[in-house]
Amino acid sequence: MMSVDRTAFKTGALVRQACRSGEFTGQTSGLAPGFAQANLVILPQAEARQFQEFCEKNPKPCPLLEVTAPGDPCPHRLAEAADLRTDLPRYRVWRRGELVDEPTEITSLWQDDMVAFLIGCSFTFEAALIAAGLSVRHIDQGVNVPMYRTTIPCESAGMFSGPLVVSMRPFKPADAIQAVQITGRFPAVHGAPVHLGFPEQLGITDLSSPDYGDAVTVGRDELPVFWACGVTPQAVLMQAKPEFAITHSPGCMFVSDLKDSDLAAD
């Protein structure tokens, strides 16, 4: 990827334009502050109904922001001029539960029966954390957020079942309380944390070895704080093994035209 000025991406449209042209293929945390970001899952229509039921049964990791009509690559609610085939930095292609490719566009893979699911992303509430004066560690360190598979099962729906995936941000205890209060205002993008401290209670044995994303520094006086994560469907796809699916690459989100404030509960 060529070097780009991340501070230049002031809007979702600018991020999407850079993705479409191939100028930007990196992770999107901290880009276009104030604009909501979303996870992506694309499935053939035959499996889409069961997956939508899975999301509805598991709203914490899979809060649905939009479901497109079959064959339509445009998320009309989130960004009327967007094209989900080109406007994310990087995708993942899955065949029978195996990751087979990570392309930067999926135009040649798109089919007339494809249904796209846009799922709320915790990157959306990070602007609110920063505005409150809280330090978001992975942004400060210029890396992707660390994400971990847990031993907590999601509620199954048809062929779809699997473990909850969580993202982690460390905070001192007083800041962690504030982070709970702030993110609780954003139920459409995972809301309040699902767990504070004691990663072993989630089946996480080593914070320095995330399953997705990058490790970050956790101070001795800090608590690891865990939020339900929209990468959960990727763990579910590995277990369900549908014939074909496409997702975003972890951390490489769809940046919408919707404002963070539009998703705040108050």
User: Rounded to whole angstroms, how far apart are CA atoms 96 and 25?
Assistant: 26
User: Rounded to whole angstroms, how far apart are CA atoms 171 and 70?
Assistant: 42
Spatial contact of 147 and 213, defined as CB atoms under 8 Å apart: yes
Question: Nearest-CA neighbor of 146 among 212, 47, 68, 225?
Answer: 212
Averaged pLDDT for residues 18-29: 95
Residue 177 CA to its chain's centroid (Å): 23
Task: Give residue-wise pLDDT tens across range 174-225.
Answer: 999 999 999 999 998 999 999 999 999 999 999 999 999 999 999 999 999 9
How far from 217 is each of 35, 71, 145, CA to CA, in Å? 27, 43, 11
Residue 1 pLDDT class (50, 70, 90 cuts)? very low
